[in-house]
Amino acid sequence: MSSGSSGKSGLLGSRLEAARELAFVGREEELAVFHTALYGGGGSVLYVHGPGGIGKSALLRRLAHEAAVAGRPVSMVDGRTMEPSPATFGDEAEPALGDADAVLLIDHFERIQGLEGWLRERFLPRLPVGALVVIAGRYPPDMRWQADPGWAGALEVLALRDLPAADAQALLDSCGVPDELREPLLAFAGGHPLALLLGAAVAVKDGGASRRWVPDQDVVATLLDQLVGELPSAAHQHALEICAHAHVTTEALLRAALPQDAGTLFRWLRRLPFVESSSSGLFPHDVVRELLEADLRWRDPEGYAVMHDRIHAHLAEKVRTAGDADVLGAVAALLYLHRDNGALTDFHRCRDEGEFQEEPFRQEDTGTLVRVATAAEGAASAGCAAFWAGRRPEAFRLYRRTETGEPVAFSAWLRLEKLDEEEVAADPVVAAAWAHARATTPVRAGEHLAVSRLWVLPEHRGRSTVMDLIQWRMIGNCLRAERMAWSYTAIQHPNHRAWVTCLRRYGMLDIPERPRLGDDSYTLFVHDWRAVPQQTWLEWMNRPLAEGAAEGPDAAPGLVVLSQAEFAGAVRKALRHLSRPDALAASPLTRTRLIAERAGQDPVAALGELLRGAIADLGEDPRTGKFHRALSATFLRGTPTQELAAEQLGLPFTTYRRHLTAGIERVCADLWHRELYGAGAS
């Protein structure tokens, strides 16, 4: 081998690993604890916790190296890239189960924090004596670890803190930061490793610049630019901003928000060093995400709003078209866009993904349903739950704690087109919802109403992970429903107060009636989806709180809901006024679904166009051609009297009247069908 080629020998991965080794500083205490455990003198499980960017992943890479040097087989499980379920975790960690020398490293445990109890009680006890496990996550371990005498000598908890001043200086040494820039950089980043590394990238790029490094918006922008070098184009900048704004970014989402070259840009994103991949898509490191968000909000608030709206529209459509198994994730992704705007789910609080699992209801779950419902709301409510489970088992969902399999909640989405006497007698809550709808604007032919019921054990009420899942299911049901007139959500009064605030925030208004079950009263929160359809509701939800959205979408003018007779009467009157825009403006048809579907058009012009089109459609069918001619002569040509119209058509007046009446009835029927089922319905 020549001397030139020998200088280039080896693998790139080895060079990368060597560079990481050189950049690793400090953590002597943590390394000492690991060495003690590695060589048989310490605990079997080390639990490392600390905030994002504090260096947990870097520490785990160093521990993997130390274990390999010691001749121990190493397995790595990454919580970011796996489904939070016991089965998936077990598959990835299986090599550690059969080897007493195994070292199992679990990174980003906060992503699968809901598995903590299952890991402690079910998985770890199966490991052979001698195996070593290191868990790294943002949150400290559950107190039940330390309360269990069995874990007293087997668990070591390490809280990872900022680097001491000397180690922070050593990190800047390894990055080659000029001396004159260190003081302001340290003042900005302290001992936070990721902030130091990101700041160091800018400082090294600046080199011997005379100006002092300060953490203003210009520096933040420069810092972000340095993460990927010189950005190829504005499209690449937009792709990066989209990735920061969405929960996870897929190529389809990128295409919706930035149509040009989405595939190329997605491939570019996934290669960025601070962008990670999961089974759901791409996402940036949390610190990077916040920097990108803050920068764009400050730099281009109008562009930020446009980007947000495009992503929102795409994710809303994903909810509407999601399969049953994908609804929860689709709704969560949509609500994540409102994480700083009073969303139903507090994503800053949420840390227990995977702690609870939703399951379809089975008939053998009936006994469990009754037990949970009794504990949650009493015997009378449990009787209602059992009644509906017998009649509509497909409406129910069961929620279990992953750790133990313990059932903690049930929900039901009762879709009702009619209510018989037995159902009225069996459940006063559902009966009250049905009575309210009948007394207000009844369910029309082809429509239905839905009643959401939930039975949640007391310790999980309010803002909790299991309530998040139930809420996501309910929102998904509302946005995916077709021809739903009303939705009702029953809340046992005065429980679930935190959720009550959110329901009102999004236009679910409580009705005066308070149905009772036994000694307990219930509040029914109702929404009329004909007056405020899904798209209007989504647009209102998308408004910032600062714009006055707190009063809910029902504060805005909604669509009018007409009975079939009222609708037909309005069509007949509008036909007579077809040549008079001022009279058409007073028609209630201008505020129906028919016109709302023609977004962007003037309502009066849209109504006139709709009526003329309905008349023209009759001329396309030979069987209704005579109706078309009668309507055209009467309403489109401005013929002063019906007698003159009959004369122009060469028809006896009685024949003309028969054709005219039949034509009007056909137009009324066609438009009514569109009102109920949408313009695309056949």
What is the tens place of the pLDDT at every residue in 433-454? 999 998 888 888 888 999 999 9
> How far apart (Å, rounded) are the C-alpha atoms in residues 361 and 473?
14
Answer yes or no: is pLDDT of 343 > 60: no
Q: Cβ(610)–Cβ(617) under 8 Å?
A: no
pLDDT at 295 over 50: yes
pLDDT tens sequence across 240-253: 999 999 999 999 99
d(CA 326, CA 476): 10
Least confident range of 132-141, 183-192, 375-384: 183-192
> CA-to-CA distance for 219 and 619, rounded, in angstroms?
68
Per-residue pLDDT at 4: 43
DSSP-assigned beta bridge partners for residue 516:
521
* Amino acid 221: pLDDT: 59
Beta bridge pairs of residue 136: 48
Cβ atoms of 119 and 360 closer than 8 Å: no
Q: What is the mean pLDDT of the chain?
A: 84
Q: Which of 17-21, 193-197, 625-629 is predicted with the least confidence, judged by mean pLDDT?
A: 17-21
**Higher model confidence: residue 180 or residue 33?**
33
| pLDDT recorded at residue 105 | 96
Q: Name which of 442, 389, 395 is nearest 419 in CA terms.
A: 442
User: Does the pLDDT at position 675 exceed 50?
Assistant: yes
> The tokens of 288 are what?
């990077």
User: Which residues make Cβ contacts (< 8 Å) with residue 36, sequence separation at least 6?
Assistant: 42
Residue 303 phi, psi dihedral angles, 5° rounding: -65, -35
Measured CA to CA, the distance from residue 223 to residue 122 in angstroms comes to 45
- Following CA atoms 457, 461, 465, 471 in sequence, which dihedral angle do they give, to the nearest 10 degrees? 110
Helix/strand/coil (H/E/C) assignment for every residue in 343-380: CCCCCCCCCCCCCEEEEECCHHHHHHHHHHHHHHHCHH
pLDDT at 7: 47
Helices (H), 487-580: 497-505, 534-541, 564-576
CA–CA separation, 194 and 286 (whole Å): 11
Looking at per-residue pLDDT, the higher value among 7 and 119 belongs to 119
Summarize pLDDT for 564-607 with one digit per residue, the tens: 788 888 899 989 888 888 888 888 888 887 787 776 688 888 88
- The answer, yes or no, to whether residue 354 has pLDDT greater than 90, is no
Quick one: pLDDT band at residue 62, thresholds 50, 70, 90? very high
368/356 Cα distance (integer angstroms): 16
550, pLDDT greater than 50: no
Q: What is the pLDDT of residues 487-511, one digit of tens each?
A: 999 988 655 666 677 777 777 888 8
356: β partners: 401
The label of the residue with tokens 């999004």 reads 506
Where is pLDDT greater, at 101 or 19? 101
Q: Are 488 and 450 in contact (CB under 8 A)?
A: yes
Structure token digits, residue 617: 């459609």
How confident is residue 544, by pLDDT bands cut at 50, 70 and 90?
A: low
More confidently predicted of 273 and 632: 632
The residue among 382 and 180 whose pLDDT is bigger is 382
How far apart are the C-alpha atoms of 256 and 218, rounded to whole Å? 30
Q: Report d(CA 564, CA 311) in Å as an integer.
A: 38
Provide mean pLDDT across the span 240-267: 92
Helices (H), 514-652: 534-541, 564-576, 581-584, 593-596, 603-618, 625-631, 642-649
The highest-confidence range among 180-194, 270-284, 346-360, 577-591, by mean pLDDT, is: 577-591
Q: pLDDT tens digit string along 355-398?
A: 899 999 999 999 999 999 999 999 999 999 999 999 999 999 99
215-224, 526-535, 646-655: range with lowest mean pLDDT: 215-224
What string of DSSP letters covers 422-450?
A: HHHHH-HHHHHHHHHHHHHSPPPTT-EEE
CA gap 318, 186 in Å, rounded: 44
pLDDT band at 548, cuts 50/70/90?
A: very low
User: Measuring CA to CA, which residue among 38, 24, 25, 52 is closest to residue 156?
Assistant: 38
Rounded to an integer, what is the distance from CA 434 to the centroid of its chain? 30
Task: Tell me the range of 19-33, 62-76, 521-535 where mean pLDDT is highest.
Answer: 62-76
Taking the CA atoms of residue 164, residue 167, residue 168 and residue 173 in that order, the dihedral angle to the nearest 10 degrees is 160
What average pLDDT score do residues 619-632 get? 91
